[in-house]
Structure 1
Amino acid sequence: MFDLVAGFCHSQILQALVEFDIPQMLLRNEMTTDALATEAEVPLDRMHVLLSAAVALGLLKRRKSGLYALTIRGAALAGVPGLSGMISHHDVLYLDLADPVAFFRGEVETELAEFWPYVFGASGATDPKVASTYSQLMADSQVLVAEDTLATVSLNGVRHIMDVGGGSGAFLAAVGQAYPNLHMTLFDLPAVAPGAQARFADLGLSERVMIAPGSFRDDPLPQGADLISLVRVLYDHSDETVSALLRSVYEALPVGGSLLVSEPMTGGDQPQRAGDAYYALYCMAMRTGKARSADQIAALLRQAGFTDIQTPKSRRPFVTSLVTGVKQS
């Protein structure tokens, strides 16, 4: 019970470690309290408290020599793509949750939606600097999602994949490297297209990828793909927007074409920590979407006309879960 009460402090400890760059410093060399305090410009007594707290959480370990080192869990803060970025931006979420009573009553004008302006359509993401911020964060964390998605489903037999809402192309970059003969299309807002172009050029994928700028809220989807992927897209939007998007996907696919949905999901009738105690609140703070269970997403797919709906089990549901469907006629 005490661990639950202390949860907020745990989050702040994580954020402090990341902001002070302590995981990166310890990844290079084990260090003393004095050295870390000097590098981070933190008073020595306060750094001691922070480091002791990190040891208690299993993120750091203290040698008999007095040197601090990363544990395996702590090393993830430095080595897992996108993790530090996600932790750093959570100060916005913490502000939105500062008054939990008002938050759950729907009385808080949350700030998180301002961090993710694309959820409001093309008109919400016109500032290149803002687009760059959220695109980089999405791209970094998308590496793990792409790994788990491609480890769960096979794209053998697919000729052409279109990733809708694909941001700066992190998912398609992973697909392109894993499937060298696959044609690809990226469909997303014009503001994020430059980042995608640069990524594909760096990887030598430019000739295999067509970038189609547009907003699925406002524009029809391009035709030609026999697989359309929605990676971390649905949970950003309301049921009404999702239903309209799924109908557009259905119309854009040929008979026999498939849809792949990959995103964090709730546990439905069996709530689980990542989906129900984190993503559900995060989406609520964004004001436009909601975290859904695999069964809820499957029901939305059926309403759009999809059949042969499958929910393959991913290796790390806290990273992503999957739902697939087929257009039969």
Structure 2
Amino acid sequence: MAAEPPAARSPQGWLNRLIARPGFQAWAARFPLTRGLVSREGAALFDIVAGFVQSQALAAIVELRLPERLMEGPRAPAELAQGTGLAPGRMALLLQAGAALGLFRRRRDGCYALAARGAALAGVPGLQAMIRHHGAFYRDMADPLALLRGEAETELAGFWPYVLGARGSIDPELAARYSALMADSQALVAEDVLAMVSLRGIRHLMDVGGGSGAFLQAVAARAPDMVLTLFDLPEVLPQAARRLSGAGLLGRMTLHPGSFRDDPLPRGADAVSLVRVLYDHGDDTVAALLRAVFAALPPGGRLIVAEPMAGGDRPERAGDVYYAFYTLAMRTGRTRSAAEIAGLCRAAGFSEIGIPHAPRPYVTSALVARRPG
């Protein structure tokens, strides 16, 4: 007879086997001291099981612009169905789903009104663009085991070709599409980064991989005297020039074309930001980039890293589920915990590493470090 594995002999293993028994579940659901816990755990498990349906209902709500239409006031299902191709009964089904998700409120007269969560969906920059973009991600997740085994050809890998970093190989139209999607959500990211990280004492900030310049635009509003440099691929910079020109900021920024894979980073900045950059790339590329940043900074220069991070010893949903699988579908990068990123920074020579509290880790977390000296 084969020996039981150590986990099976442990108290936790015994408890897990007990909980997994159908008879125990039925008893615990009736017993006064455990039925509340069983009910909560059951509801949480069902929420995981039903998650894919909720995301598809959300996609339909966004596609039909229901939050924007309800911003004008409560509407009846038949009225909202007009021009959508949906029968009133099907629109009622979708509105009822939205109400169950907390996006809408059903009124006694049968009309639906916008709830606070739905108003946030309409107003948060870039959120609806990301939801529309989820069609590709959803298709990439259709066979999760094939994705995990590396057997799937993914759509996201084609959507984000910039991460391959080969100069001249990127279609300008794809680069523009990437930059536009990133810029739509970057305002929210910038808001959180600037709440976590102090810019005090920084004279010249260089944003590496800064896309359309949305992060530097936010920095410019906070620090009107700071010198700003944007370093990114030549195919991306026209988008940045248009955005910054429209904001009246092009004159105070330097746009420096280049690939951090192939080109040395320009010198002169006393701080470098990497906003949603590291998780796009594998460990070797990240290590090389951090060494390049270290070389470009003067003694005492600062590094700012901002991106969604994994939970490490304390796994969490945003970093260890959503972004972990998203980067897996991109096929080039991965989410890392703050401790992992700190280790990579130390290996590159950085010290005084700090990890500020993230108010919304599902938006971004941050890490700061210094070049000694």
TM normalised by structure 1 equals: 0.97
For residues 117-151 of structure 1, the C-alpha deviation after alignment (integer angstroms, 9 at most, x for no partner) is 11111447632221221111100101111000001
Partner residue of 2:138? 94
Whole-angstrom CA distance in 2 between matches of 1:92 and 1:125: 22
Whole-angstrom CA distance in 2 between matches of 1:123 and 1:15: 35
Whole-angstrom CA distance in 2 between matches of 1:297 and 1:88: 30
Whole-angstrom CA distance in 1 between matches of 2:242 and 2:98: 38
Partner residue of 1:271? 315
The SS at the match of 1:41 is coil
For residues 90-133 of structure 1, the C-alpha deviation after alignment (integer angstroms, 9 at most, x for no partner) is 11111111012222222212121111111111447632221221
Which residue of 21, 38, 41 maps to 2:65? 21
- Which runs of 5 or more residues in structure 1 are unaligned? none
- Give yes or no for the alignment of 1:201 onto 2:245: yes
Partner residue of 1:9? 53
Q: Given that residues 125 and 131 in structure 1 are in contact (C-alpha distance below 8 angstroms), is that contact kept between their aligned partners in structure 2? A: no
Q: Given that residues 117 and 124 in structure 1 are in contact (C-alpha distance below 8 angstroms), is that contact kept between their aligned partners in structure 2? A: no
- Give yes or no for the alignment of 1:156 onto 2:196: no
Which residue of 324, 336, 343 maps to 1:299? 343
Q: What does 1:104-123 align with in structure 2 at a 5 Å threshold?
A: 104-123=148-167
Whole-angstrom CA distance in 1 between matches of 2:74 and 2:207: 42
Whole-angstrom CA distance in 1 between matches of 2:86 and 2:168: 38
Whole-angstrom CA distance in 2 between matches of 1:162 and 1:125: 25
Please tell me the residue identity of whatever aligns with 1:162.
Answer: M
Partner residue of 2:110? 66
The SS at the match of 2:180 is helix
The SS at the match of 2:264 is coil
Shift of 1:202: 2.0
TM normalised by structure 2 equals: 0.86
Whole-angstrom CA distance in 1 between matches of 2:62 and 2:168: 29
Whole-angstrom CA distance in 2 between matches of 1:21 and 1:51: 12
Identical residues among aligned pairs (%) = 59
Partner residue of 1:55? 99
Shift of 1:194: 1.4
The SS at the match of 1:84 is helix
Please tell me the residue identity of whatever aligns with 2:107.
Answer: R
- Give yes or no for the alignment of 1:247 onto 2:305: no
Whole-angstrom CA distance in 2 between matches of 1:171 and 1:113: 24
The SS at the match of 1:228 is strand
Whole-angstrom CA distance in 2 between matches of 1:107 and 1:196: 36
Please tell me the residue identity of whatever aligns with 1:106.
Answer: G
Larger Rg: 2
- Give yes or no for the alignment of 1:181 onto 2:222: no
Q: How many residues align?
A: 329
- Give yes or no for the alignment of 1:231 onto 2:278: no
Tell me how large the CA RMSD over aligned residues is: 1.2
By relative contact order (CA 8 Å, sep 6+), the higher-ranking structure is: 1
Residues 97/103 of structure 1: CA separation in 2 closer, same or farther (3 Å cut): same
Partner residue of 2:15? none
Q: Given that residues 160 and 225 in structure 1 are in contact (C-alpha distance below 8 angstroms), is that contact kept between their aligned partners in structure 2? A: yes
Partner residue of 1:76? 120
- Give yes or no for the alignment of 1:314 onto 2:358: yes
